[in-house]
Amino acid sequence: MSWLVLAPVCVWLLFGIGQPLLNRLGAVATILALEGATIFLASTAHHPEPPPVAAIMSPRPVPSPTNESCPVRLPHPDEVRLSRTHVTILWPAVVGECDTAAVVLGEKGNRLKVWVHEGALVGNHRASVVPVNIDGHTAFVDVAHKLARHRWVAVDGRSGERIPTIIHG
């Protein structure tokens, strides 16, 4: 608050026409005192711990298990929800939905290509393996992924079709 009140007065005293030398020196001393107090308070202030962040699974090769109980599915996303740190992908749920899904996100220009794969994955692929959540008749996954702030267009990585996108924050 001191900066908001004293800084404009000091500028006026420093650069005002007809101000005596004593006023100018007082303005300089006041600005130096404000800066010193700010530095002192910033160095001694208590900085709270950052809030805990959900565990982020880095992309890693997905093994192709042989005893997978859920069928191989390549869901077509109905909707993608984007935030600065997460991508949520939604599709219609089916009976026997897998517990996890392999998700690959590819950025090119302003396009975010989305691939979702449930079930056994043949070969090694760079993908994030995330849990599949069910809410009523909708299945969804939440992938921790930092996105640059600009207008993203989500597209299905297989068909190239645009996916309706909701942007949060």
- Write down the number of H helices and E strands in the chain: 2, 10
Calpha distance 33→158 (Å, rounded): 63
Q: Which two tokens stand for residue 116?
A: 């979702």
List, for residues 1-50, the tens digit of each pLDDT value: 888 888 899 999 999 889 899 999 999 999 999 999 888 887 777 666 65
Calpha distance 112→80 (Å, rounded): 10
Provide CB contacts within 8 A for 129, sequence distance 6+.
57, 60, 62, 100, 101, 102, 103
Mean pLDDT of the chain: 80
Kindly state the average pLDDT of the residues 58-84.
68
Calpha distance 114→108 (Å, rounded): 11
Q: Which two tokens stand for residue 167?
A: 């942007």
pLDDT cut 70: percent of the chain above it? 82
pTM over 0.75: no
- pLDDT value, residue 35: 92
- pLDDT value, residue 33: 93
Calpha distance 157→164 (Å, rounded): 14
Q: Which two tokens stand for residue 88?
A: 């949520």
Q: Which two tokens stand for residue 105?
A: 């996100």
Calpha distance 113→13 (Å, rounded): 59
